[in-house]
Amino acid sequence: MGRGLLDLEKHFAFYGAYHSNPVNVLIHMLFVWPIFFTTLILLDFTPPLLHLPFLGGVDLNLSFFFSLVYALFYVSLDGKAGSLAALLCLLCWIGGHFLAARLGFSLAWKVKSLFLFVLFLFTICSFLWRFRFSFTVIVKP
């Protein structure tokens, strides 16, 4: 396999060591994708970095490029499983883009606190559980 950041075996070994607890796996399944999704919604209100008139005037902003980087990273780790994760990244970007467009800029600013609260809550829960579990793995004989 690859070396360093793209070493899939190293990532799986780390994941296996710190994420074998069923509660921790559940926490990750419940919190990681909502964190990603709410981040994409917030990033959708950034100014466009690229305009594609031949695709109906699609504006690509930080939300798109953030999801693209994650999608490419997942595909580089593993072709099959990474492709599924890349598809989920794409679906999150599409869903976040349509939700942000539906809310509109002025309404989104009014409910931005809700998105920030959800992002904050999910991030804190994820980190607290990770810290708790990582600490118990380290101190166990």
Q: Give domain status of residue 48, yes or no.
A: yes
Q: Give domain status of residue 87, yes or no.
A: yes
Q: Give domain status of residue 96, yes or no.
A: yes
Local confidence band at 139 (pLDDT 50, 70, 90 cut-offs):
very low
Q: Report the chain's mean pLDDT, rounded to a whole number.
A: 78
Number of domains in the chain: 1
Q: Express as a percent the part of the chain with pLDDT over 70.
A: 69
Check residues 125 and 47 and name the one with the higher pLDDT. Answer: 47
Q: Is 51 helix (H, G, I), strand (E, B) or coil?
A: strand
How far is C-alpha 110 from the geometric centre of its chain's CA atoms?
Answer: 23
Angle subtended at Cα 88 by Cα 83 and Cα 92, rounded to the nearest 5 degrees: 145
Q: Give domain status of residue 62, yes or no.
A: yes
Query: Is 103 in contact with 111 (CB distance < 8 Å)?
Result: yes
Check residues 140 and 68 and name the one with the higher pLDDT. Answer: 68
Q: Give domain status of residue 35, yes or no.
A: no
Q: In the Cβ-directed half-sphere of 114, how many Cα atoms lie within 13 Å?
A: 7
Q: What is the pLDDT of residues 27-69, one digit of tens each?
A: 777 777 888 888 888 899 999 898 888 877 778 999 999 999 9
Nearest Cα to Cα of residue 36 among 5, 73, 78, 79: 73
Nearest Cα to Cα of residue 49 among 40, 37, 58: 58
In terms of residue numbers, what domain contains 119?
Answer: 40-123
Q: In the Cβ-directed half-sphere of 63, how many Cα atoms lie within 13 Å?
A: 27
Q: Give domain status of residue 5, yes or no.
A: no
pTM for the whole thing? 0.68
Check residues 29 and 74 and name the one with the higher pLDDT. Answer: 74
Query: Is 48 in contact with 60 (CB distance < 8 Å)?
Result: yes
